[in-house]
């Protein structure tokens, strides 16, 4: 649970007001200990500054220490600045402006601000008695907070920690979101182009076309390549359903080629045998964030004059022989689903290519096949990424290089810990990097291990329990039993908590807990 700090509590701490100082300080330390965030309301800045100065001045007059008013004021600001350093600023919204009919406008503002959060997500830490009485469900005193939150052994590790990331980029996120609210160009606003330029530069691709999701990126790419009913597209059965779904949606047939047992990526050595007269594209997936054998796949494709679409939904930021994922073949498609290595706060995706014609086709298809306003020269769809989501990705990009570095470090650390513990895991090839969208281990005791980890507050997931050619809706479209490695691996994979902000002690706890059950 987070705490919004009322002015009286902040003053208790900054001015070390007795007898309130210790309880206020202990309560906020406990909140941080339990993973909660401490918020300061932007609308309280003047009250804080005014009252702290008044308090210091009064004390100064009593004690008679030789400071000028100017020095005292500087001291007051320095105290507030130091206190606010590791707190989060809660923006004052327009709806919290006209509170003058309330008995205490400032309290009314805080209560309104609390309503933005879900039930039990936040409380106002205050020792204002009338406020505590009027809103017992939304407020708590420092003493009561301490009583309810004595440190225990409860631990909680996020499967993917998006909260810490948001804490670190919140001012930039708010700035970007507000800019969109003010200019009002919600569809194809300036942030769309800005993001496309930045992403193209990042990957080294000539063109980047943002779209409504990773699924839409794959669909639009296949449409741009002219995939039609009766065509075949070679892909992996060990991936998220969207990879095959888009092929089937266009009336084409997914042809599943088995995977490598150690990387779980498509086995390039088995692709050529699957090519027929009807094959129109090859679609490898950079699973768990690691590119497949793209050189080998591109060579086969070249020999048979086929385009290659990299499903890079999980691998934005990864590299292959020094080149960036998304720019490794004819087309690269990524997803900005919130939990992806570069995520937005909704749905989003992007297509990358160096081919001018394909780029033009994708741009037109994402706006209903329109070459100019109300001139529909091809069949398209409504597949744009909205401006707000682009603004969010722009904010996240500022921290992205650091996050990729962290992902590599966390991945290396897992590798080392698990190898030492003798726990089998997905392997990475030395000529490429993985951004570890998932960190995945192999275990024949998956159910037992998952239950044990869950009990100790460690969440896990399975990517993926059933190969696509065994899925009820797909079984009849393709061969089943023809990808034995995928079938075997699907029974063994289990993904562990992963992310750039996963700390060493959590990683140690995760591996130790695994080891205890294996």
Tell me the closest approach of the beta carbon of residue 492 to ligand PLP, in angstroms: 19
Of residues 43 and 349, the one with the C-beta less far from ligand PLP: 349
Binders of ligand PLP among 339-378, rule CB under 6 A?
347, 349
**From the list 51, 139, 176, 213, which residue makes contact with ligand PLP (rule: CB under 6 A)?**
213
Tell me the closest approach of the beta carbon of residue 332 to ligand PLP, in angstroms: 12
Q: What is the DSSP string of 290-324?
A: ----HHHHHHHHHHTT--BEEE-TTTTT-EETTEE
Of residues 35 and 346, the one with the C-beta less far from ligand PLP: 346
Dist. CA 353–CA 330, nearest whole Å: 6
| Strand 323-324 with 331-335, pairing | unpaired
Of residues 36 and 349, the one with the C-beta less far from ligand PLP: 349
Number of residues that bind ligand PLP (CB under 6 A): 15
Tell me the closest approach of the beta carbon of residue 501 to ligand PLP, in angstroms: 21
Is residue 256 close enough to count as binding ligand PLP by CB under 6 A?
A: no
Burial status of residue 396 (CB atoms within 10 A of its CB: 0-12, 13-18, 19 or more): buried
Burial status of residue 324 (CB atoms within 10 A of its CB: 0-12, 13-18, 19 or more): buried
222: which residues sit within 8 A by CB, 6+ positions away? 233, 246, 247, 250, 252, 281, 309
Residue closest to ligand PLP (Cβ): 214
Tell me the closest approach of the beta carbon of residue 339 to ligand PLP, in angstroms: 8
Per CB under 6 A, which region of 120-128, 152-160, 191-199, 213-221 contacts ligand PLP? 213-221
Dist. CA 440–CA 344, nearest whole Å: 23
Tell me the closest approach of the beta carbon of residue 438 to ligand PLP, in angstroms: 9
Binders of ligand PLP among 263-302, rule CB under 6 A?
285
Of residues 243 and 263, the one with the C-beta less far from ligand PLP: 243
- Number of Cβ atoms within 10 Å of the Cβ of 323: 15
Tell me the closest approach of the beta carbon of residue 350 to ligand PLP, in angstroms: 10
**From the list 51, 176, 215, 279, which residue makes contact with ligand PLP (rule: CB under 6 A)?**
215
Per CB under 6 A, which region of 101-109, 200-208, 235-243, 421-429 contacts ligand PLP? 235-243
Per CB under 6 A, which region of 255-263, 311-319, 468-476, 502-510 contacts ligand PLP? 311-319
Binders of ligand PLP among 429-448, rule CB under 6 A?
none
**From the list 107, 196, 232, 311, which residue makes contact with ligand PLP (rule: CB under 6 A)?**
311
Q: Crossing angle, helix 356-366 and helix 214-224, to 10 degrees? A: 120
Determine the number of helices (DSSP H) and then strands (DSSP E) in the chain: 17, 18
The residue written with tokens 């997914």 in the block is 254
Per CB under 6 A, which region of 152-160, 207-215, 362-370, 406-414 contacts ligand PLP? 207-215
Of residues 213 and 428, the one with the C-beta less far from ligand PLP: 213
Per CB under 6 A, which region of 104-112, 189-197, 236-244, 479-487 contacts ligand PLP? 236-244
Q: What is the DSSP string of 50-119?
A: HHHHHHHHHHHHHHT----HHHHHHHHHHHHHHHHTTSEEEPPPGGGS--TTSSSHHHHHHHHHHTTSPT
Gyration radius of the chain's alpha carbons: 27
Of residues 190 and 346, the one with the C-beta less far from ligand PLP: 346
Of residues 41 and 337, the one with the C-beta less far from ligand PLP: 337
Is residue 239 close enough to count as binding ligand PLP by CB under 6 A?
A: yes
CB contact at 8 A, 105 and 111: no
Of residues 141 and 213, the one with the C-beta less far from ligand PLP: 213
Is residue 243 close enough to count as binding ligand PLP by CB under 6 A?
A: yes
Is residue 214 close enough to count as binding ligand PLP by CB under 6 A?
A: yes
Tokens representing residue 301 in the block: 């494709």
Tell me the closest approach of the beta carbon of residue 152 to ligand PLP, in angstroms: 36
Of residues 215 and 433, the one with the C-beta less far from ligand PLP: 215
Of residues 180 and 333, the one with the C-beta less far from ligand PLP: 333
CB contact at 8 A, 283 and 256: no
Of residues 313 and 449, the one with the C-beta less far from ligand PLP: 313
Per CB under 6 A, which region of 208-216, 350-358, 377-385, 398-406 contacts ligand PLP? 208-216
Is residue 337 close enough to count as binding ligand PLP by CB under 6 A?
A: yes
Tell me the closest approach of the beta carbon of residue 186 to ligand PLP, in angstroms: 20
Closest by Cα among 324, 292, 296 to 311: 292
Bridge partners of residue 124, in order along the sequence: 4, 139
Using DSSP, state whether 450 is helix, strand or coil.
Answer: helix
Is residue 314 close enough to count as binding ligand PLP by CB under 6 A?
A: yes
Dist. CA 477–CA 253, nearest whole Å: 7
Dist. CA 37–CA 369, nearest whole Å: 47
The residue written with tokens 């509170």 in the block is 99
- Dihedral angle at the C-alpha atoms of 422, 426, 432, 435, nearest 10 degrees? -100
**Contact footprint for ligand PLP (CB under 6 A):** 213-215, 239-240, 242-243, 285, 311, 313-314, 335, 337, 347, 349
């Amino acid at each position: 649970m987070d705490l919004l700090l009322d002015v009286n509590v902040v003053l208790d701490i900054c001015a070390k007001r007795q007898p309130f100082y210790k309880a206020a300080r202990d309560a906020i330390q406990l909140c941080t200990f339990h993973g909660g965030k401490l918020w300061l309301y932007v609308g309280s800045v003047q009250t804080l500054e005014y009252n702290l100065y008044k308090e210091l001045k009064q004390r100064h007059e009593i004690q008679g220490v030789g400071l000028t008013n100017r020095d005292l004021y500087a001291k007051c600001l320095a105290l507030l600045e130091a206190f606010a350093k590791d707190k989060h600023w809660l923006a004052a919204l327009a709806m919290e402006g006209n509170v003058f009919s309330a008995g205490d406008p400032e309290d009314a503002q805080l209560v309104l601000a609390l309503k933005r959060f879900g039930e039990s997500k936040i409380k106002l830490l205050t020792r204002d008695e009338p406020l505590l009485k009027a809103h017992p469900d939304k407020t708590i005193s420092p003493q009561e907070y301490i009583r309810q939150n004595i440190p225990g052994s409860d631990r909680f590790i996020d499967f993917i920690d998006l909260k810490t990331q948001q804490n670190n980029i919140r001012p930039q996120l708010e700035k970007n979101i507000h800019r969109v609210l003010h200019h009002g160009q919600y569809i194809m606003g300036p942030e769309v182009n800005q993001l496309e330029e930045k992403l193209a530069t990042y990957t080294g691709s000539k063109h980047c076309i943002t779209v409504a999701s990773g699924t839409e990126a794959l669909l639009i790419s296949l449409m741009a390549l002219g995939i039609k009913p009766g065509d075949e597209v070679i892909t992996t059965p060990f991936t998220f359903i969207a990879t095959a779904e888009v092929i089937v949606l266009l009336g084409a047939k997914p042809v599943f080629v088995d995977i490598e047992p150690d990387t779980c990526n498509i086995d390039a050595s088995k692709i050529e045998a699957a090519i027929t007269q009807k094959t129109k594209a090859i679609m490898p997936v950079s699973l768990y964030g690691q590119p497949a054998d793209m050189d080998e796949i591109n060579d086969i494709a070249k020999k048979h004059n086929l385009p290659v679409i990299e499903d890079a939904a999980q691998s934005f930021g990864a590299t292959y022989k020094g080149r960036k994922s998304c720019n490794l073949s004819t087309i690269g498609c990524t997803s900005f689903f919130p939990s992806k290595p570069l995520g937005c706060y909704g749905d989003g995706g992007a297509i990358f290519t160096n081919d001018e014609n394909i780029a033009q086709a994708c741009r037109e298809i994402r706006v209903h096949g329109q070459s100019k306003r109300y001139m529909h020269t091809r069949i398209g769809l409504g597949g744009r990424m909205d401006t707000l989501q682009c603004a969010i990705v722009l904010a996240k990009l500022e921290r992205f290089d650091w996050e990729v570095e962290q992902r590599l470090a966390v991945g290396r650390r897992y590798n080392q810990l698990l190898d030492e513990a003798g726990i089998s895991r997905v392997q990475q090839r030395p000529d490429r990097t993985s951004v570890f969208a998932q960190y995945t281990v192999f275990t024949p005791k998956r159910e037992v291990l998952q239950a044990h980890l869950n009990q100790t507050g460690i969440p896990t997931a399975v990517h993926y329990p059933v190969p696509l050619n065994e899925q009820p809706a797909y079984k009849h479209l393709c061969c089943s039993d023809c990808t034995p490695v995928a079938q075997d691996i699907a029974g063994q994979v289990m993904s562990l908590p992963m992310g750039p902000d996963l700390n060493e002690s959590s990683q140690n706890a995760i591996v130790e807990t695994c080891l205890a059950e294996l």
